[in-house]
Structure 1
Amino acid sequence: MKELKHLNKYFKKYWKKLVIGILITIIARVFQLVLPTYVNKSISVLENTIGSTLTKGEGEDLLLQYILIIIAAALLSGFFTFLMRQTIINVSRHIEFDLKNEVFDHYQRLSLSFYKQNRTGDLMNRISEDINQVRLYSGPAIMYGMQTLTLFVCLIPLMFIKAPTLAMYTLLPLPILSVLIYQISKVIHKRSTVVQEYLSSLSTFTQEVFSGVSVIKAYSLEPQTNTDIGVLALEGKEKSMNLAKVNAWFFPLMILLIGISNLFVIYIGGKQYINGEIGVGLIAEFVLYVNMLTWPVAIVGWLTSIIQRAEASQKRINAFLKEQPSIKNTVEERTPIFGKIEFKNVSFTYEDTNITALKNISFTIENGETVAIIGKTGSGKSTILDLISRLYDVSSGEILIDNKPINHLNLINLREGIGAVPQDAFLFSDSIKNNIKFGKENATDDEVITVAKKAVVHKNISDFAGGYDTVLGERGITLSGGQKQRVSIARALLKNPNIYLFDDCLSAVDTETEEEILNNLKTASKNRTTLIVSHRVSSAKNASKILVLEDGKLIQEGTHKQLNSVNGYYKELYKNQLLEKEN
């Protein structure tokens, strides 16, 4: 159970509620122990009344008194059992809440490279199914475990006090049961881990199918997808059945051994009764004791299974929580961002692919300057923007923001000072208004409309039946590619940062709309450092500086006029795009 030690901090946090819950559990079980004793006494009253030791009136009075005590004890036991669930189960829900928040906070701290190496389905399974298994351990397992322990501690000594020989034979099957449970639990642990890993694979597959359903339909891949999910489901069934087969041994074994205990009670107790050593009421009392032990003993198997599953799940959670973000905030004090950017001999290689995206790049962008970055696909344009946002750290060289090394800046302040529009515009499944306000949560409706007009998307939004309150589908699927890009631009404009990063965010709009947006951006980003990545010269020609990249190297730098006056990549690209426009 070493992996479950991670939960100790939560048990410490809620120790008062747990202690109260444990005390209530003990009280509930003590009241339950009253029942067999007074059943014994009731039967003794009947024997004494029939044997004329007691008068009929005395016997009836005593019998009624004992029955009322039995009823009161049962009601009190039930009441405290209810309170027990209200305390211990509630604690498990609090722990579930805290653990999910811990995992989610850790998700947010991890770097972009982590998400490239892990699948969404697996990450979702850890925060849902795995944590649910841990919750069962932190609540129901503790509750039923304390019930079982309390009964064993109170009941077994009581049985030996009342009838040592009968108690010995009655409890004889229990050590055998303990050994069997121990052996089976080891197998359960291994198979539980396999099942949890499979559930992650299934979650990943289904999540990818739902996200890529348009591609599946476009290529008529439904039959193949059904076949794949069928194979995966069959594999999962086999793994789950292997676990279920082991779990299936528990209850039959327990019922068998409890049955043997009952036979011992009847046979040994019967012999002692015949010999005049005990009364028939004590036999009835022991039968009740054995049946009271039936559920606690049976629950040992269930508890073992729960603990083994929780151990397997917590191990997966711990492995993830041990992951350290490659990008760390090393500065606590605030470091405001103004906008000067300088690259000094920067090279960068992606760890996951080992592709060198930038090779010894150097340039300077002054505060308030607008710079365009041009180049072929894979030339390193987007990588420059990612490095400025510090989504990655450079492999060699140095990036300076406002003359300070980028890793000497407060990471939160750095990103707060940047308004980024990615190449693949991402919108949340929320209203269009809230998607734009993601850049500034307290923005007014007028501010939202103003930036939407600047991004030339206001008319499109107004045409929707719900207007700005239109709720988008997952990943903004309700909108076209160009509309998503323009909503993302509006989001960045609303943030009003000191640095704008536009990563080929006009690729899905026509040239006329592009020209209008660029003119609006020129006004909106005045006195703001702006970087525009594009494949089109039309997006770059009005920039105060243009950087031309090829295979990760900076091959040209200058204004549109300067670059178009010399033979090179930029002049050739401009000439080709002019011909395309004319055609």
Structure 2
Amino acid sequence: MKELKHLNKYFKKYWFKLLIGIIITIIARVFSLIMPSYVNKSIQAVEAFVGNTLSKGEAKEILFGYILIIIGAALLSGLFTFLMRQTIINVSRYIEYDLKNEVFDHYQLLSLSFYKRNRIGDLMNRISEDINQVRMYVGPAIMYGMNTLTMFVCIIPLMFIKAPTLAAYTLIPLPILSVLIYQISKIIHKRSTKVQEFLSTLSTFTQESFSGVAVIKAYGLEPKINTELEALALEGKNTSMDLAKVNAWFFPLMILLIGISNVFVIYIGGKQYIDGEIASIGIIAEFILYVNMLTWPVAIVGWLTSIIQRAEASQKRINEFLLEEPSIKNEVTEPTPVTGGIEFKNVTFTYEDTNITALNNISFTIKPGETVAFLGKTGSGKSTILDLVARLYDTSSGQILVDGKPVKEFNLDSLRSSIGAVPQDAFLFSDTIENNIRFGDEHASFDEIVNVAKKAVVHDNIEGFTKKYDTILGERGITLSGGQKQRVSIARALLKDPQIYLFDDCLSAVDTETEEEILNNLKQVSQNKTTLIVSHRVSSAKNADKIIVLENGSIIQEGTHAQLNNIEGYYKELYLNQLSEKE
């Protein structure tokens, strides 16, 4: 159980509630033990009446008193059982809440390289299903474990005190039941794991099919997808049937062994009563009640073992990610203001996952308030420069300076809050258009949102929707076209009003006229703001204060539009080609 030691801090946090819950559990079980003994006493009262040692009135009075005690004990046991669940199960929910927050907070600290190495579905499974398995350990396992322990400690000594021989025979089937349930639980655990793995596979398949439904329809792949789904469904049926066959043994086996224990009670108890070894037949009824009270606690031993095994496995998976150290660390706690000066000094960067060197010993300087455009072929390292400025990665060698200081000496939150980034593949949430733009500044007014939408030339499109700014977007903004998504993302960045703008080919999906209008608006907005523009179009770069052309991670040209257009090279060739295409 070494992996579960991680939860000790939560047990310490909620120790008082857990202690109260355990005490309530013991009280609830003690009250439940009152009923069997008073059933025995009630039968003895009836025997006394039949034997003429009690009058009818006295017998009725005694029975009525015993019935009230039994009902009162049952009500109190039920009340304390309710309070038991309200304490221990609630604590398990608190721990689940805290653990999910811990994992999610750690996810947010981890760098992009971590997300490239791990599947999103796996990350989601660990924060949902795995934590749910751990919750079963910190809640139901503790509650039922204490319940089982209390029942054993109280009932078994009582049984041996009242009738040792009968108690010995009665308890014979119970260890057998516990061992069998444990073995069945192990098999159930293995087959349940296979079912969960299959469900993960099925979810992945259906998610990809739904996401790529346009491609499936365009290529006429429906029959192929149906065949693959049919094969998956057949596999799922067989896996689930294997689990169902084992599950089918659980309760019948338990009922069988309960029945055997009851047979022992009736036969051995009846024989002892006939032989005069026990004074009253009521002891047989009392033992039958004890057997039925013990059966579930005995059966649950195997179930508890299985819960702990699953929790251990799940916590191990959770710990693997919690022990993952973020490669980007915030080493400065105090806020650090940013004015926008950027300098790359002999910067080289290689991606760990692919071992591709995206930048190779590049150097350039951007003054605060300057607009610099980066051009080059796909894979030349343009987007990597923007990622390094936002410190989504750290350089492999060389140094990045912001306002003359190494970027690592800036508070990470201060640095990123001073940046408005617009990626090429704009990500929008399944929310209203208004809230997607408001993501740039949660305190912005509606008029401010409309204003930036106009500057991003998307206001008229939004007004054309039935619900306008209240339009709910589909997953990843699928309701909008590619150009509309890019412009909403630009509006979001403009609303943030940062000190540094990072535009990563964010106008690739709009026409040239709309592009020109947006660029004119951006020129007005970005005055006194440092702006980095990545593009494949000369039209997006020609008005920049400086243009840097990259090839294979190295700078091959640098200058203004006029300077680069007067010399032979990549930029002039690209300009002439795009000019002729436009004409």
TM-score, reference length from structure 2: 0.95
How far, CA to CA, are the matches of 2:318 and 2:195 in structure 1?
15
Q: Which residue of 2 aligns with 1:11?
A: 11
CA distance in 2: counterparts of 1:398 and 1:212, whole angstroms:
42
Amino acid at match of 1:113: S
Q: CA offset at residue 72 of structure 1?
A: 1.3
How far off its partner does 1:193 sit? 4.7
Instruction: Kindly indicate whether the alpha-carbon contact (under 8 Å) linking 1:347 and 1:361 is maintained by their aligned counterparts in 2.
Output: yes
1:433 equivalenced with 2:434 (yes/no): yes
Deviation by residue 1:485-536 (Cα, 9 ceiling, x = unmatched): 1111111111111111000011111111111111111110001110111111
1:134-145 residue pairs with structure 2 within 5 A? 134-145=134-145
Tell me which moved more, 314-323 or 452-461: 314-323
1:561 aligned partner: 562
Cα distance, 1:475 vs. partner? 0.9
Cα distance 1:4–1:457, how it changes in 2: closer, same or farther (>3 A)?
Answer: same
1:472 shift after superposition: 1.1
Are 1:208 and 2:208 counterparts? Answer: yes
* SS of structure 1 residue aligned to 2:567: coil
Counterpart amino acid of 1:448? Answer: I
State the TM-score, normalizing by the size of structure 1. Answer: 0.95
2:403 is aligned with 1:402? yes
Q: Which amino acid aligns with 2:359?
A: L
**Matching residue of 1:455:** 456
Match of 2:571 in 1: 570
Kindly indicate whether residue 538 of structure 2 is the aligned counterpart of residue 537 of structure 1. Answer: yes
Cα displacement (A) at 1:241: 4.6
Give the whole-Å Cα distance in 2 for the aligned partners of 1:35 and 1:344.
83
User: Is the Cα–Cα contact under 8 Å of residues 348 and 357 in structure 1 kept in the other structure?
Assistant: yes
Q: State how far apart, in whole Å, the 1-side matches of 2:440 and 2:208 are.
A: 28
Correspondences of 1:109-188 after superposition (within 5 Å):
109-188=109-188
One-letter amino acid matched to 1:60: K
Where 2:439 maps in the other structure, the secondary structure is helix
Matched position secondary structure for 2:159: helix
Given that 2:346 and 2:399 are in contact with CA atoms closer than 8 Å, whether structure 1 keeps it comes out as yes
Cross-structure match for 1:316: 317
Matches within 5 A, 1:353-502: 353-502=354-503
Q: Distance in 2 between matches of 1:530 and 1:168?
A: 85
- Tell me the amino acid that sits aligned with residue 50 of structure 2: I
Check the 8 A contact 1:251/1:298 in 2, yes or no. Answer: no
Alpha carbons of 1:167 and 1:318: their partners in 2 closer, same or farther (altered >3 Å)?
A: same
**Contact kept in structure 2, 1:339 and 1:367, CA below 8 Å:** yes
Distance 1:346-1:528 versus aligned 2 partners, 3 A rule: same
From the superposition, tell whether residues 326 and 215 of structure 1 become closer, same or farther in structure 2 (CA, over 3 Å): farther
Cα 1:321–1:199 shift into 2, 3 Å: farther
Aligned to 1:25: 25
Bigger CA drift: 296-305 or 369-378? 296-305
User: Using the alignment, how far apart are the partners of 1:126 and 1:252 within structure 2?
Assistant: 34
* Shift in Å, 1:92: 1.8
**Is residue 182–residue 302 contact of structure 2 (8 Å, CA) maintained in 1?**
no
Shift of residue 244 of structure 1? 4.8
**CA-to-partner distance for each residue in 1:450-477, whole Å, 9 max, x for gaps?**
1111111111112222122222111111
Task: Report how far residue 377 of structure 1 moved.
Answer: 1.0
Match of 1:328 in 2: 329
Distance in 2 of aligned mates of 1:199 and 1:362: 50
Cα distance between partner residues in 2 of 1:232 and 1:382: 40
Q: Which amino acid aligns with 2:76?
A: L
Contact 1:185 1:308 in 2 (8 A): no
Contact 2:185 2:303 in 1 (8 A): no
8 Å contact from structure 2 (residues 126, 318) kept in 1 = yes
| Secondary structure at the counterpart of residue 363 of structure 2 | strand
Letter of the structure 2 residue corresponding to residue 299 of structure 1: I
Aligned residue in 2 for 1:55: 55
Instruction: Judge conservation of contact 2:181–2:303 (CA < 8 Å) in 1.
Output: no
Checking the alignment, whether the CA contact within 8 Å between 2:178 and 2:299 is kept in structure 1 is: no
1:341-386 deviation per Cα after TM superposition (whole angstroms, max 9, x unaligned): 1111111111112221111111111111110101111111111111
1:132–1:105 Cα change, 3 Å: same
Change over 3 Å in CA distance of 1:240–1:303 after alignment to 2: farther
Shift of 1:311: 2.6
DSSP 3-state at the match of 1:439: coil
1:283 is displaced (CA, Å) by 1.0
Q: Which one is further off, 253-262 or 29-38?
A: 253-262
CA distance, structure 1, for counterparts of residue 544 and residue 80 of structure 2: 75
Specify the code of the residue in structure 2 equivalent to 1:449: V
Deviations 1:96-123, CA, capped at 9 Å, x for gaps: 2222212221221111112222222222
Q: Distance in 1 between matches of 2:136 and 2:333?
A: 39
Going from structure 1 to structure 2, the CA distance change for 1:229 and 1:118 (only over 3 Å counts) comes to: farther
1:564 Cα deviation after fit: 0.8
Q: Which amino acid aligns with 1:460?
A: N
Provide the C-alpha distance between the structure 2 equivalents of 1:443 and 1:210, rounded to a whole number of angstroms: 35
Q: Does 2:288 correspond to 1:287? A: yes
CA distance, structure 2, for counterparts of residue 528 and residue 321 of structure 1: 38
Q: Which runs of 4+ in 1 moved over 6 A?
A: none
Equivalents in 2 of 1:380, 1:324: separation in Å? 26
Q: Give the Cα separation in 2 of the matches to 1:88 and 1:356.
A: 54
Distance in 1 between residues matched to 2:405 and 2:197, nearest whole Å: 45
**Secondary structure of 2:472's partner?**
coil
Residue number in structure 2 paired with 1:39 = 39
Alpha-carbon deviation of 1:418?
Answer: 0.6
- 2:221 aligned residue: 221
Number of residues paired by the alignment? Answer: 582
Question: 1:25-104 to 2 correspondence within 5 Å?
Answer: 25-104=25-104
**Take 1:411 and 1:61, find their aligned partners in 2: how far apart are those partners?**
80
1:192 to partner: Cα distance: 4.9
The C-alpha deviation readout for 1:138-178, integer Å capped at 9, x for no partner, is: 22222222222111111001111111111111112233334
State how far apart, in whole Å, the 2-side matches of 1:326 and 1:198 are. Answer: 33
Structure 1 position 238, deviation (Å):
4.4
* Aligned AA (1:399): I
Contact 2:438–2:444 (CA<8 Å) still a contact in 1?
yes
Supply the AA of the counterpart residue of 1:152. Answer: F
CA contact (8 A) 2:344 2:401 kept: yes
Question: Structure 1 residues 124, 205: closer, same or farther in 2, change over 3 A?
Answer: farther
Q: What RMSD, in angstroms, separates the aligned Cα atoms of the two structures? A: 1.9
| Amino acid across the alignment from 1:580 | E
Identity %: 79
* Equivalent pair of 2:371/2:545 in contact (CA under 8 Å): yes
One-letter identity of the residue aligned with 1:205: F
- Structure 2 unaligned regions, length at least 5: none
Partner Cα separation in structure 1 for residue 204 and residue 396 of structure 2: 31
Q: Which amino acid letter does the alignment assign opposite residue 389 of structure 1?
A: A
Give the AA of the match of 2:525. Answer: A
Structure 1 residue matching 2:393: 3-state secondary structure: coil
1:278-309 per-residue CA deviation (whole Å, 9 max, x = no partner) reads: 12111111111111112222233333333333
Contact 1:423 1:504 (8 Å CA) reproduced: yes
- 1:91 and 1:224 map into 2 onto residues whose CA distance is 49
Question: 1-side partners of 2:206 and 2:18: how far apart?
Answer: 39
Deviates more, 1:39-48 or 1:170-179: 170-179
Counterpart for residue 305 of structure 1: 306
Aligned-partner SS, 2:33: helix
In the alignment, the residues of structure 2 paired with residue 11 and residue 161 of structure 1 have an alpha-carbon distance, to the nearest angstrom, of 37
Q: 1:232 Cα deviation (Å)?
A: 3.7
